Each structure stands twice: as structure tokens, then as C-alpha cells.
Amino acid sequence: MDRIYIELIQKDSLLEQAQINSFKELKHMQIIDNTRKDIDALKSHINALEEDYYYLSEVTEKKQNKIIRQRKIGLIMLGVIVLQILL
């Protein structure tokens, strides 16, 4: 009788342990799923930031080229003015 009682207790213990393990496994799966979602969200943010970076780089380069062009035009105009004054 005692053996049967001990076996039933062990069986209940094993059943509870199996339930605990299944809950742990479920939590691990949820953590993995949430992590994958976070990674996907971060990748999309990175892509958006890269697009913004390239756009801003192009705008900055165009502005720098415009400034350089305006400086050259200003120097040429200054040279023309100096030549007109001298002549």
C-alpha cells in the first residue's frame, strides 16, 4: 500500500514537473517570438534611417556644390569688376 502511495506521489510530481516544463517552453517560445518581432522592427527602423541618411547626404552634397559654384561665380565677378576699374 505504501508503495502504491509513493508511486502515485511520484507520478503526480512528474506530472507537475511536466506542466512546469511545458509552461517554461511556452514562455521561451513567446520570448523568441517577441525577440524576432523586435529584430524585424529594428531592421525596418535601420532601413528607414539609411534612406534618410542617403537623402540628407544627397541634399548636403548638392548644397555644397551650389556654394562652391557661387564662390567661383563671385570670384569671377570680382575679377571682372577689378578689370573694369583698372581699364
The residue assigned the cell 517552453 is 25
Kindly report, residue by residue over 15-72, the tens digit of the pLDDT: 888 899 999 999 999 999 999 999 999 999 999 999 999 999 999 999 999 999 999 9
Question: Whole-model pTM above 0.85?
Answer: no
Distance of CA 45 to the CA centre of its chain: 4
Domains of the chain: total: 1
Q: Domain of 53?
A: 1-87
**Is residue 7 predicted with pLDDT exceeding 80?**
no
- What would the grid cell of residue 6 be? 509513493
DSSP class of 87? -
Distance CA 35, CA 52 (A): 25
